[in-house]
Amino acid sequence: MSPTPQQRRAARHQLDPSAPAARRGPSGRRKKPITVEAIISTAFDIVEKEGYEALTMRRVAAALETGPSSLYAHVVNKEDLDELLIGRLCAEIELPAPDPATWRRQLIDVCTQLRDQYLRYPGISQAAFAAAPSNLDTLRVSEGMLAILLAGGVDPQTAAWTIDALTLYVNAHSLEVSLAARRSDEAWVRSRDEMLNRFAALPDTFPQTKRYAAELTAGTTHDRFAFTLGLMLDGLPGQPSLA
Amino acid sequence: MSPTPQQRRAARHQLDPSAPAARRGPSGRRKKPITVEAIISTAFDIVEKEGYEALTMRRVAAALETGPSSLYAHVVNKEDLDELLIGRLCAEIELPAPDPATWRRQLIDVCTQLRDQYLRYPGISQAAFAAAPSNLDTLRVSEGMLAILLAGGVDPQTAAWTIDALTLYVNAHSLEVSLAARRSDEAWVRSRDEMLNRFAALPDTFPQTKRYAAELTAGTTHDRFAFTLGLMLDGLPGQPSLA
DNA sequence: TTCTACTTACGAACAGCGTTCGTGTCAATG
DNA sequence: CATTGACACGAACGCTGTTCGTAAGTAGAA
């Protein structure tokens, strides 16, 4: 009995990642035999070049020079493929050894790595929302964040919920940036001028928005990202960070 | 020349919301003539009962006892419909008169209203991500939030970016809760027990996660929501709130 | 009244999506 | 050689958003 894709998934979710299930002889029947690995990597290629919205089963199959049905022997679902992508993405994250002296900086670094990965594959954070948090790779990241927070002297309950808040925000921010970038490929300043004009033309029922239009449109997306992370971490009652 | 849906949309985006453009005689040709209003309200019905994923043009058309093409005379797009829904949703938000003594509480109230609306129509926050921020109704909400923050003594730049962070988080939180609820309709405790078991069975490479499994799975979604809002607002260098 | 102009409604169709089914094809085994 | 089992894949189903051509009915003009 050959493993059904469901069994493959179950194996992936297995909590003890031992027994790599030695791949059968590389039956070189096909020049490039379809493997989960091949599917994942071509999927990443597509998302990187054309965005997450372009990631369809048919598109992946076409890139692999086959029909869509061929994928379902290796992957349960599109949803499953999404989860694999997110897992792979999280696996790339480098987790530092927790250092009580610089825990805030460390946490920000991890979040920034995540954001960069999400933005490298625009729109993929959409998949991160749906991905089950039981995935081993995502769990590895949150384990790392938890370790950093605990090393920083944050109490466990606060740390746990802070991780939730952080990952949720990173996801959302990345998604928004991706969507906004897709909406207008032009430089951002152009969009900012447009925004300023709109705000200036607003009726008087929007006094504050008109008055502080400059502040509302100020800063790059990176600035806003750093600001929000600071907002969440600075209020944290932990050991004061040196950096 | 009758207004094309594009023109209708432009009119909606118009910055001065005057001249209600007196509706033409209610040519009662149809028992229930299709109007933008009718489309919006049936769309809300569908989302409320079956979730955002069930909101399709055909589904709306069927509920209106017509074909899908009939909708495109009143609505540009599905995307346009989404924006209308988000706009309507934001219009329901009650904005308090800013009170410097209770500004944090007021802000939390507004965010909670938003969350409750999003959760009432599960999954609709997905549309909120894509919605252009130039929409008048969403702008009204952020104007209200800005006023509250300024009244609280928060400096304008910080206030502007805080609004961004807050709305983004509220959206993301609502979306996650909606998705999680759809995944398993069963009571949450069941899912929590499952989570605890999984964590307990984790290999030793996840020491913190195993150790603090209780904290990681503690609290309702409401608890986490309140926690994160507090995280963002308590660190804010503004006038200390009485409440 | 009759004719025209115009708005609104809608059936049919197109291209694309995720997914399933039945069948074909090859390698290794009995 | 024959059989088995894993893998690949063409074709199809039901769904999606959207467009097009056309019909129906009202409003105004001649």
Over residues A53-112, the pLDDT tens digits come to 999 999 999 999 999 999 999 999 999 999 999 999 999 999 999 999 999 999 999 999
Range with the poorest average pLDDT among B6-10, B107-111, B118-122, B150-154:
B6-10
Residue nearest to nucleotide C7 (CA to C1'): B2
Q: Does B172 touch chain A (CB under 8 A)?
A: yes
From B24's Cα to the closest Cα of chain A, the distance in A is 27
Q: B82, B146, B216, B217: which to substitute to probe chain A, counting the most A Cβ within 10 Å?
A: B216
CB of A176 closer than 8 Å to CB of B168: yes
B174-187 average pLDDT score: 83
Q: Give residue A21's pLDDT.
A: 29
Instruction: Using the predicted structure, report yes or no on whether residue B13 has a pLDDT greater than 80.
Output: no
Q: Do B206 and A234 touch (CB under 8 A)?
A: no
Nearest nt (C1') to A71 (CA)? D8
Digit-coded pLDDT (tens) for A102-127: 999 999 999 999 999 999 999 999 99
pLDDT tens figures, B25-60: 333 344 567 899 999 999 999 999 999 999 999 999
pLDDT value of residue B133: 80
pLDDT grade, residue B17 (50/70/90)?
Answer: very low
Band of pLDDT at residue B77, cut at 50, 70 and 90: very high
Q: What's the CA gap between A99 and B152, in Å, rounded?
A: 36
Which of the four pLDDT bands, split at 50, 70 and 90, describes residue B22?
A: very low
For residue B107, what pLDDT band results from cuts at 50, 70 and 90? very high
Q: How high is the mean pLDDT of chain B?
A: 87
Indicate whether B174 pLDDT > 90.
Answer: yes
Q: Which residue ranges form the domains of chain A, and what is each CATH number? A: 5-12+31-76 (1.10.10.60), 94-234 (1.10.357.10)
A145: nearest Cα among B209, B230, B225, B210: B209
- Non-local CB neighbours of B4 within 8 Å, separated by 6+ positions: none
Alpha helices in chain B (DSSP H): 5-13, 36-50, 57-63, 78-91, 103-120, 125-130, 136-151, 156-183, 188-200, 207-211, 213-217, 221-234
Q: Evaluate the CA torsion angle A118, A124, A126, A128 in order and state its sign.
A: negative
Contact B227 A176 (CB under 8 A): no
Phi-psi region of A92 (alpha: psi -120 to 50; beta: other; left: phi over 0): alpha
Is residue B18 pLDDT above 90, yes or no? Answer: no
pLDDT tens, position by position, B196-223:
999 999 999 999 999 999 999 999 999 9
Least confident of A175-179, B64-68, B191-195: B191-195
B185 or A180, greater pLDDT: A180
Residue ranges in B14-132 assigned as alpha helix (H): 36-50, 57-63, 78-91, 103-120, 125-130
| Beta carbons of A218 and B160 less than 8 Å apart | yes
pLDDT at A171: 97
Residue nearest to nucleotide C9 (CA to C1'): B70
pLDDT digits (tens, 9 = 90+) for A40-55: 999 999 999 999 999 9
Q: What pLDDT digit, counting tens, does each position of A115-165 carry?
A: 999 999 999 999 999 987 789 999 999 999 999 999 999 999 999 999 999
Q: Which of B23-27, B185-189, B235-239 has the lowest mean pLDDT?
A: B23-27
Q: pLDDT tens, B121-132? A: 999 999 999 987
Q: What confidence score (pLDDT) does residue B185 get?
A: 64
Per-residue pLDDT band at A9 (split at 50, 70, 90): low
Mean pLDDT over B79-83 rounds to: 96
Residue A19 with chain B: CB contacts under 8 Å: none
Amino acid at B137: D
Work out the minimum CA distance from A15 to partner chain B, whole angstroms: 6
Chain C footprint positions (protein CB, under 7 Å): 6-13, 16-22, 26-28
Higher pLDDT, residue A122 or B185: A122
